[in-house]
Amino acid sequence: DEFLKGTQKGTLSDESLQNETGVDLLLTAAYSILDGSVDGQNRERSGDNWWIDVLTDEAHKGSTNGDQAILHDLQTYSNWSTSNNYFFLKWEGLYAGVNRCNAVINLANSITDVDLTQKIAEARFLRGHFNFELTRIWRNVPYIDEIATIENPDVANNGPLWDEIEADFQFAITNLPEDLGPGRANSWAAKAYMGKVHLYQEEWTNAETILDDVINNGPYDLNAEFVDNFNGAGKNGIEVVFSIQHEANDGATNNGNGNKGGELNFPGGGPYGSCCGFYQPTQDLANAFKTTGGLPQPNTYNNSDIDNDYGVASADPFTPYAGELDPRIDYTVGRRGIDYNGWGEHVGFDWVRAQADAGPYLPKKNTYKAGEDNTRGTAGWGQQVPGLHYNVIRFADVLLMAAEAKAELGDAAGAMALVNRVRQRAIDMTTVKDVANPTNDAANYSIALYTATDFTAANAVELVRFERKLELAMEGHRYFDLTRWGILPEVMNEFFTNEVRTVSTLVTGTVQDRHEVFPIPLRAIDVAENLTQNPEWSAAQ
Amino acid sequence: QDIAISGKVTSTMGEELPGVSVLIKGTSQGTVTNAEGNYSLKANSADDILVFSFIGMKAQEAVIGGRSVINITMEEDVASLEEVIVTGYSSESKQTITGSVDALDAEKAFSIPSTSAAEGFQGRLTGVTVTSDGSPGQAPIVRVRGIATTGNNDPLYIIDGFQTNDPNFLTDLNTSDIESVTVLKDAAVASVYGARATNGVIVIKTRKGSYNAGKPTVTFDMSYGVQTPIEFPDMLNSEQLGEVFWQSMENDGLTSADDAWGHPQFGDGDTPQLSQFMGKPGFDSSQPYDADNNRFARTSNGTDWFDELFDDARYQNYYLSVNGGTESSKYMMSMGYMEREGILLGTGYDRYTGRANTEFAINDRLRIGQNLSLAYSNQVLQPGMNGDDSPIALAYRASPLMPVYDEGGNFAGTFASSAGLGNAQNPVAVMTRAKDNDNANLRVYGDAFIEVEPIDGLVLKSNIGVNYRTGVGNIYTALNPEHSEAITSNMLSTGKFVSSGYVWSNYLSYDKKFGNHTVSFFGGVEAIKNSFEISVIQQTNFLLGDDVVDFRLIGAGTGPISAPQGSNSSTSSSLFSYFGKLSYNFSNKYLLSATLRRDETSRFLEGNNTGVFPAFSLGWVLSEEAFIPDFIANLKVRGSYGQMGNQSLPTANPVSNISVLNDEYAFYNFGGANTPGAILQNPGNPNLTWETSVQQNLGLDVAVLGGDVEFTFDYFDIVSQDNIIAPPTVTTGPYAPTNPYFNLGEISNKGIDLALSYANNSSSSELKYQVGLKVSRYRNEILKTDEQDNSLVGGNIRGITFTNSEVGGPISSFYGREVVGIFRSEAEVAAAPDHGFATDADGVGRFQYADLDGNGSIDDMDRKSLGSPNPDFTYGFNLDIQYKGFDLALFINGSKGNEIYNYTKALTDFPTFYNGNRSGRVLDAFHPTDNPGGSVPALSQSVQNNETQPSSYYVEDGSFMRLKNLQIGYSLPEDIISTVGMSRARIYLQASNLFTITDYSGLDPEIGRFNNNDIDTGIDFGSYPTSQTYLIGLSVDF
* pLDDT over 90, % of chain B: 57
pLDDT surpassing 90 at residue A332: yes
Task: Answer yes or no: is pLDDT of B735 > 60.
Answer: no
The pLDDT of B554-575, averaged and rounded, is: 83
Tell whether B675 is within 8 A of chain A (Cβ): yes
Model confidence pLDDT, tens digit, residues A3-23:
777 777 777 888 888 999 999
Residue B215 touches partner A, C-beta closer than 8 Å: no
Q: Which residues from B are below 8 Å from A73, CB to CB?
A: 942-943
Q: What are the tens digits of pLDDT across the range A349-383?
A: 989 988 989 999 999 999 999 999 999 987 766 67
Exposed, middle or buried: residue B521 (CB in 10 Å: 0-12, 13-18, 19+)? middle
Task: Determine which helix (DSSP H) or strand (DSSP E) holds B659, and give its type and residue range.
Answer: strand B658-661
Comparison of pLDDT for A83 and A495, the residue scoring more? A495
Q: What is the structure's pLDDT at B78?
A: 52
Residue B417 near chain A (CB below 8 Å):
yes
Tell whether B293 lies on the interface with A, counting CB pairs under 8 A: no
CA distance B197 to B599: 12
pLDDT band at residue A38 using 50, 70 and 90 as cut-offs: confident
A75 inside 8 A of chain B by CB: no
- Would the CB atoms of A538 and B676 count as touching at under 8 Å? no
What angle do helix axes A117-138 and A20-32 make, rounded to 10 degrees?
20
Instruction: Tell me if A195 sits within 8 A of A401, measured CB to CB.
Output: yes
Q: Is the pLDDT of residue B911 over 50?
A: yes
* Residue B278 distance to chain A (closest CA, Å): 15
Please give the Cα distance from B689 to B605 (Å, whole number): 8
B804 contacts in A (CB within 8 Å)?
Answer: 526
Q: What distance in Å separates the CA atoms of residue B180 and residue B178, rounded to the nearest whole number? A: 6
List for chain A the helix, strand, coil content (%; round to 5).
45, 10, 50
User: What is the mean predicted confidence (pLDDT) over B880-905?
Assistant: 94
Chain B hits for A236, CB-CB cut-off 8 Å, are: 671
pLDDT tens-digit readout, A463-498: 999 999 999 999 999 999 999 999 999 999 999 999
pLDDT at A151 over 50: no
Tell me how far apart the alpha carbons of residues B123 and B146 are, in angstroms, rounded to a whole number: 15
Sheet holding B60-63, edge to edge: B30-32, B21-24, B49-53, B60-63
List the one residue out of B435, B394, B444, B434 whose CA is nearest residue B414: B394
Residue of B nearest to A352 (CA): B418
**Contact criterion met (CB below 8 Å) for B137 and B377:** yes
Domain ranges (residues) in chain B: 3-74, 84-228, 871-1037
| Cα A29 to Cα A71, A89, B670, B735, distances in angstroms | 29, 19, 12, 11
Listed ranges B57-66, B379-388, B552-561, B749-758; the one with the highest mean pLDDT: B749-758
- Residue A361: the pLDDT is 97
Between residues B849 and B132, the one the model is more confident about: B849
Per-residue pLDDT, averaged over B614-627, amounts to: 92
Question: B84-228 sits in which CATH class?
Answer: mainly beta
Looking at the DSSP assignment, which residues form a beta bridge with residue B476?
B492
Asked if A29 and B666 come within 8 Å (Cβ–Cβ), the reply is: yes
Task: Kindly report, residue by residue over A112-129, the tens digit of the pLDDT.
Answer: 999 999 999 999 999 999
Chain B residues 160-199 within an 8 A CB cutoff of chain A: none
- The string of DSSP letters for B843-869 reads HTTSEEEP-TT-SSB-STT--EEEE-S
**B611, B783, B744, B572: which is closest to B690 by C-alpha?**
B611
Q: How far is B192 from chain A (nearest CA, A)?
A: 20
On whether any CB of chain B is under 8 Å from the CB of A237, the answer is no
| B564 contacts A7? CB cut-off 8 A | no
B256–chain A Cβ distance below 8 A for any pair? no
Answer yes or no: is pLDDT of B1031 > 90: yes
Q: Which amino acid is at A459?
A: N
Q: Which pLDDT value is given to residue B23?
A: 86
In chain B, whose CA is at the least distance from the CA of A538?
B859
Put simply, the answer to whether A275 touches B670 (Cβ < 8 Å) is: no
Sign of CA dihedral A53, A479, A189, A144: negative
If you ran DSSP here, which 8-state letter would residue B1004 be given? Answer: -
Give how far B1002 is from chain A: nearest CA, Å.
25
From residue B1032, how far is each of B89, B230, B425, B1038 by CA, in Å? 39, 19, 38, 20
- Mean pLDDT, chain B, rounded, equals 89
State the pLDDT at residue B214: 75
Cα distances (angstroms) measured from residue B727 to each of A90, A100, A188, B490, B791:
21, 19, 40, 41, 9
Collect all residues with Cβ–Cβ distance below 8 Å to A137 and sequence separation of at least 6: A52, A90, A94, A517, A518
Q: Which CATH architecture has domain B3-74?
A: Sandwich (2.60)
A139 DSSP assignment:
S
Q: What is the mean pLDDT of the segment spanning B153-161?
A: 92
What residues in A contact B666, CB-CB < 8 Å? 25, 28-29, 32
Q: Which of A144, A140, A155 is nearest to A538 (CA)?
A: A140
Q: Closest to B487 (Cβ–Cβ): which among A37, A381, A528? A: A381
CA atoms lying within 13 Å on the CB side of residue B691: 31
Whether B525 contacts chain A with CB within 8 A: no
Q: Is the pLDDT of residue A161 over 70?
A: yes
Buried/exposed code over B563-591 (b: 16+ C-beta within 10 A; e: otherwise): ebbbbbbbbbbbbbbbbbbbbebeebbeb
CB A122 within 8 A of CB A172: yes
What single letter denotes the amino acid at residue A328? R
Provide the chain A residues 184-213 that lie in CB contact (below 8 A) with chain B: 184
Q: B417, A268: Cβ pair inside 8 Å?
A: yes
Residue A525 near chain B (CB below 8 Å):
yes
Query: Looking at residue B81, what is its pLDDT?
Result: 45
Torsion of CA B446, B450, B456, B458, to 10 degrees: -70
Residues in Cβ contact with A197 at an 8 Å cutoff, skipping those fewer than 6 apart: A128, A132, A162, A165, A166, A169
Q: Is the pLDDT of residue B565 over 60?
A: yes
Most B CBs within 10 Å, among A1, A11, A42, to test the B interface: A11
CATH class of segment(s) A13-176+512-541: mainly alpha
CA B12/CA B8 separation, integer angstroms: 13
- Any A CB within 8 A of B858 CB: yes
pLDDT tens track for A447-468? 999 999 999 999 999 999 999 9
Among A3, A6, A10, beta carbon nearest to B653:
A6
ipTM over the 0.90 cut-off: yes
Asked if the Cβ–Cβ distance from B788 to A530 is below 8 Å, we say: yes
The phi and psi torsions of B143 (rounded to 5 degrees) equal: -125, 135
Q: Inform me whether the pLDDT recorded for B900 exceeds 80.
A: yes
Q: How many Å apart are CA B72 and CA B467, to the nearest integer? A: 35
**pLDDT at residue number B732:** 52
- Taking the domains of chain A in order of start, what are their residue ranges? 13-176+512-541
